Amino acid sequence: PQISEKQVLLIYAFNNKAVTVISLKTCRVPHVNAGQKWIPLHGLLLLHEKLSELRQQAEALLQVREKTSSESPVHFGSSEKRLGSATKTEALSEKSRKIQQLEDMTRLCCTQIKQLLLSKANIEPEPEIPFDVSIANLQTLEKIFDPSRGHILSPGLLLDWIISFIIFV
């Protein structure tokens, strides 16, 4: 690590196959990978802040989606009906704009994660989001890159994507 910049040590371990421990004294686990990586603290804090914002935006968008699906007022007048459909169209375009912003911010965070884990400044932006954009995945990312705690990932696309940067470095 560079002396001029504060660093935090990322310690990781993962296994490729299920591990069965018969005896702790003679336990040999050939499919477990473990290691460490120095990461700039400032970059980690900035990334965690963005991931926290991203999760909050996703939660707000989901709450709006639940509210609009539960509200279904029926208008019987012709002018009210036209006004209602125009309002619905505006709401849909606003919703799709917010979803696009959420996806763009997720792509940006993915690029920053890649930069942080590969320790490279100039990385091409992620063309696609390599995992499902869900509140659960965004919460998991926020937890992983929270410097005050650790997190255990479950098997899936998110784990595979993050491991791809750790294995080949």
- Where are the chain's structural domains? 45-167
Question: Closest by alpha carbon to 166, among 51, 36, 1?
Answer: 36
Q: How far apart are CA 167 and CA 35, in angstroms?
A: 10
pLDDT, residue 79, reads 39
Q: What does the block give as tokens for 92?
A: 């849909």
CB 149 within 8 A of CB 143: yes
Residues with pLDDT less than 70, the chain: 1-3, 24, 26-29, 64-88, 91-92, 168-169
Length of the chain equals 169
* Segment 110-133, tens digit of pLDDT: 999 999 999 887 888 888 899 998
pLDDT, residue 62, reads 74
95-98, Cβ contacts within 8 angstroms, sequence gap of 24 or more: 95/61, 95/64, 95/65, 95/68, 98/57, 98/61
pLDDT, residue 33, reads 82
Residues 6+ away with beta carbon under 8 Å from 103: 129, 133
What pTM value is reported for the model? 0.75
Question: Closest by alpha carbon to 68, among 88, 40, 97?
Answer: 88
CB 51 within 8 A of CB 138: yes
